[in-house]
Structure 1
């Protein structure tokens, strides 16, 4: 297994109804093909050995004995396949026929899992042919197949060689009922659920199946492999379209839509499920009602074929992104609304630089005032040009303030900072950290004093990415009275401003123009003098690295606790050559990965003293909520691993 990943496949072979020999041959062929492509869990549809639509033929001994003969053939012909294979079979046990999933590994039949919920409505008549259970594990002996083979719905197939790879099975309708067997399996530590299914095609049904699979994988913190019957099943009254779905903790990572293909393959991350469960104190994994059946797999190093999203904080689907942006703006605005209402404040003070973060904070504050029914003139937008301010950012700040109808104040900080330099003996020609931070603290002092004078609140503008890197002046822009952007990463800030420009600026050409120019401006604190041509000299990403790389690392460090090695491999995949995203070579990725860890650990003392602000996503840095991290923890072992890459 490569960094916690294992390749899996959902296969829909072309079925020949009641021809067990032909179906066995097809299952063997597809198993070999999937294994040659690296799959180590291979799932076939419900009753795949006989076909699901056999009807009254299930009462024929010839079909049932033929199915066992086919299973013997499949077991014999898959001895050299290093995989866990699931096939569907009608199995006579203890006086009744069972609709069962059979698990095989390297030619050995590991066990049978019977279907627990037999549909007997509409087009389904399974209760006519099959009996339920058993639930608790019993044993069955089958000549030429094995003695004392476990049978029962409460079986988990546990890999001896790959920690955390524990697989349970359910069959079709088991997923559709209110209390799915897979939920109890997950609570008994199954991390992968396979579903052998025969779900016919009706208008809208495919979308509903997809939702069911995604939701089941989400609430059970599992990877879910769904294989549906398709080509070759009888179309006497209904049609089966096939299709496979592979989901991981609520995300569909691979799928073959009905009528479009026979193989669905992807890598699932076993370690992600284990990690997420360990963080969820409400997820009870202390059930001990399942029987563990062990099997062997040789761990493989694999190259991920699945797409790794380079911007995990940003939805890739445009419609979903628009919904997410509107949702985040509301979370920010209503968080601020409560703070304004609680403090009986009708005034908000914001420093407007003409950059992305202060622009977003101003847009959010305007929305909060609108919701409260307050006059936007109660918002004081303060421009504070200094030694590094360029005409472009200053003009954008002024235009933005005036276009949004808030109160404008302009206070040049140069004189006050020079007096301060004289007081502390700072040489103005020495452009060091004191030169820069003195400006940031002067600006914060101005904002705080205006807020005191007007009875208002200072609205913080710093974002999640800056907090993670400690890219803020302690007791300067680091401080405010309510920080609306504190859990919005830089990559998402851009999309929020873009969304506002496109949606709310479509009828205001001047607002849209200035927002688009803000988006086009390099990210900079503008604390160093401009270039001779008046352009920005100090570009943040030249100093601390590309924010899209840092946001990527931040997501996987805080949400999943992944190692530097695993994150490095994921980054290489996400930003690989040939992708639509900017390409970074391995040395560049490694350089900024080390920078992230070094800054993340060394700057925790700043995050331990940040003001209140709304949590908008699954990753946040508040010391009162998500990140109770010691300020003096060492980054050594993380940096050692990053250095060794």
Structure 2
């Protein structure tokens, strides 16, 4: 539960219809298994204590009495379970019979949540037995001594982790136009559990999955859906035990159908709350809700959910292709509008033979095609300097010529030497002045050519470089429209690769593939034996790590400690923890120190959920202190105390079975 994670489980016991005592034993056994996996929220199907398919047997008093007795024995067992448990049963209250979710914790029945929407159509006939939930929370007497609250408007809040707020709905409640879970979420619930008994017909599983996924996304919540399966009567329908765990529009776990397969995953409650805070249209109103606290121990949650090492890049080829096409359209249509609005006759772009300038050039070509403009009006300038290699120079020239753009070559060495003389700098000293003078000279030339040719300068820098401040202020940092400004480096590679795959021109395809294979470098230091001597990732760290850090910090609002934990999982076997810690410290230092460059960025199109434009996603002071982030990052490698694991189950377990 540390850092906002909480493990949840959706379980389907193999019940016997109308046999509460047998079902009690099976449910306890399933709780035992779930607890051994440190599940803190355990959800069973609708009416699992009796079985959902009892039909008119629900009208038998003996069945109702036995199901309550079984409930009390299950509740007793939870004395040794550090979890909140949801089980389903029929309960008679004030002359009506209700289909309820009983909420159990630390040996007690905390409350009952009744079903609101009672289906009585097609194969469903619940209206014959069950009443709809009362409008208000009412007392429900389970025994002579035990009275518990019963109602839909109840939130269960963890005392030691108060950001965890849980509410329940049952089966059909999700399928109606106005599910109770909407009201629950608006009251503050960030985890919704659903006790269900959804029968199987052809195609229903896909619709069910979309419902759960969509509701979790719409409500920005974790959603646990536990459904009845094998063991229920097959007199007229069959139940498949389709269990689903979703978080904010993403399926975290899904069971095989017809297998009564349990599913486990972890919700990141911290992230859910962060997303809600960002969406200021998500208004919360607690009015009318009863809050019930429950106890859970705060301990480390072992993560089983997938931690994507490349959060900006879809892992599936089909989705990746769609994403690339979409981003190229956003970039090129953004540039098209800017060229139209400014009546620019030309587009001026510096081509180095590297990844970023190649992508910006491809976007410019696409924008010109959309405008119906001749590629000759793309003034592509290659500006060899002290660090330019034959490989990048040749690739730049070939790329420009194959697309029919106008190639203009300007060697900047003499101009930079004049500049060195003007400021009294020794050319043999390869410091930041030596490097940045070249970058600023190139930008000066591009701006002047744009004036001369009635054009606009197209920026090439990407999101990852902006995050790290890996750009020369008023050098490559500046342009008239930055088409790559919100495209991270890990995605730049896939965009260029996608473009190459779409080409019929084999020579051009070969050039683009070689660009992809070229080490990332600003080429501002002299080559060694004709090869690139200055490799960016050797200096600032691997871009795949920095893109991961960037996403987790800006999109999720995570602290360095949490980012470090997730990175160790995502890059297990690829980077040692010491290396991850080192580059994370570098990222934090550079991210804060270089905000002044991002505060005056030129315009550029947003393409994803993370961007650093000062007019959009990142309004951050350039002189903010980063002490709290730095201090946490500097202690990442300190040994943490091992959390104790619950180990008294095996000692105390059996006494609850008799």
Q: TM-score, structure 2 length as denominator?
A: 0.95
Q: Is the 8 A contact 2:478 2:601 kept in 1?
A: yes
> C-alpha separation between the residues in 1 aligned to 2:177 and 2:500?
44
Deviations 1:8-27 (A, max 9, x none): 11001112111111111111
Does the alignment pair 1:38 with 2:38? yes
Structure 2 equivalent of residue 580 of structure 1: none
Q: Is the 8 A contact 2:133 2:151 kept in 1?
A: yes
Deviation at 1:375, TM superposition (A): 1.7
> C-alpha separation between the residues in 1 aligned to 2:422 and 2:260?
75
Structure 1 equivalent of residue 492 of structure 2: 493
* Candidates 582, 607, 615, aligned match of 1:616: 607
Q: How does 1:297-446 map to 2 (within 5 A)?
A: 297-446=296-445
Q: How does 1:145-224 map to 2 (within 5 A)?
A: 147-224=146-223
Does the alignment pair 1:12 with 2:9? no
> C-alpha separation between the residues in 1 aligned to 2:327 and 2:286?
38
Q: How does 1:38-187 map to 2 (within 5 A)?
A: 38-143=38-143, 147-187=146-186
> C-alpha separation between the residues in 1 aligned to 2:86 and 2:419?
74
Deviation at 1:618, TM superposition (A): 0.9
Deviations 1:400-419 (A, max 9, x none): 11222222111111121111
Q: How does 1:277-296 map to 2 (within 5 A)?
A: 277-296=276-295
Deviations 1:546-568 (A, max 9, x none): 11111111111111211111111
> C-alpha separation between the residues in 2 aligned to 1:99 and 1:376?
69
Q: Is the 8 A contact 2:159 2:293 kept in 1?
A: yes
Q: Secondary structure at the match of 2:80?
A: coil
Structure 2 equivalent of residue 543 of structure 1: 539
* Candidates 514, 520, 525, aligned match of 2:522: 525
Deviations 1:500-552 (A, max 9, x none): 112x12x22122211111111110000001112x1110000000011111111
> C-alpha separation between the residues in 1 aligned to 2:5 and 2:66?
37
Q: Is the 8 A contact 2:461 2:476 kept in 1?
A: yes
Name the stretch that deviates more: 148-157 or 50-59.
50-59
Deviation at 1:78, TM superposition (A): 2.2
> C-alpha separation between the residues in 1 aligned to 2:335 and 2:116?
51
Deviations 1:464-513 (A, max 9, x none): 010010000000000000000001111111111111112x12x2212221
Deviation at 1:261, TM superposition (A): 4.7
> C-alpha separation between the residues in 2 aligned to 1:134 and 1:349?
69
Does the alignment pair 1:510 with 2:507? yes
Deviations 1:130-175 (A, max 9, x none): 110113211112117x633110011111111112111000111111
- Give me the CA root mean square deviation: 1.2
Structure 1 equivalent of residue 627 of structure 2: 636
Structure 2 equivalent of residue 575 of structure 1: 571
> C-alpha separation between the residues in 2 aligned to 1:536 and 1:117?
68
> C-alpha separation between the residues in 2 aligned to 1:569 and 1:590?
10
Structure 1 equivalent of residue 642 of structure 2: none
Deviation at 1:54, TM superposition (A): 1.4
Deviation at 1:637, TM superposition (A): 1.2
Structure 2 equivalent of residue 275 of structure 1: 274
Does the alignment pair 1:565 with 2:556? no
Q: Is the 8 A contact 1:89 1:101 kept in 2?
A: yes
Q: Is the 8 A contact 1:346 1:374 kept in 2?
A: no
> C-alpha separation between the residues in 2 aligned to 1:409 and 1:610?
26
> C-alpha separation between the residues in 1 aligned to 2:110 and 2:443?
68
Q: Secondary structure at the match of 2:252?
A: strand
> C-alpha separation between the residues in 1 aligned to 2:315 and 2:486?
19
CA 1:4–1:297 in 2, change beyond 3 Å: closer, same or farther?
Answer: same
Q: Which runs of 5+ in 2 are unaligned?
A: 637-658
Name the stretch that deviates more: 607-616 or 169-178.
169-178
Deviation at 1:439, TM superposition (A): 0.6
> C-alpha separation between the residues in 1 aligned to 2:30 and 2:17?
18
Q: Secondary structure at the match of 2:422?
A: helix
> C-alpha separation between the residues in 2 aligned to 1:376 and 1:114?
67
Structure 2 equivalent of residue 27 of structure 1: 27
> C-alpha separation between the residues in 2 aligned to 1:500 and 1:58?
63
> C-alpha separation between the residues in 1 aligned to 2:556 and 2:486?
17
Structure 2 equivalent of residue 591 of structure 1: 582
> C-alpha separation between the residues in 2 aligned to 1:116 and 1:404?
64
Q: Is the 8 A contact 1:8 1:268 kept in 2?
A: yes
> C-alpha separation between the residues in 2 aligned to 1:590 and 1:147?
54
Q: Secondary structure at the match of 2:35?
A: helix
> C-alpha separation between the residues in 2 aligned to 1:172 and 1:590?
46
> C-alpha separation between the residues in 2 aligned to 1:588 and 1:209?
43
> C-alpha separation between the residues in 2 aligned to 1:336 and 1:311?
27
Q: TM-score, structure 1 length as denominator?
A: 0.97
Q: Is the 8 A contact 2:169 2:192 kept in 1?
A: yes
Name the stretch that deviates more: 458-467 or 405-414.
405-414
> C-alpha separation between the residues in 1 aligned to 2:149 and 2:239?
31
Deviations 1:278-305 (A, max 9, x none): 1111000133221111111111112212
Deviation at 1:260, TM superposition (A): 4.2
Q: Is the 8 A contact 2:229 2:260 kept in 1?
A: no
Deviations 1:569-602 (A, max 9, x none): 011111112xxxxx11111111111101110111
> C-alpha separation between the residues in 1 aligned to 2:135 and 2:401?
70
> C-alpha separation between the residues in 2 aligned to 1:598 and 1:231?
56
Q: Is the 8 A contact 2:23 2:48 kept in 1?
A: yes
CA 1:407–1:202 in 2, change beyond 3 Å: closer, same or farther?
Answer: farther
Name the stretch that deviates more: 634-643 or 114-123.
114-123
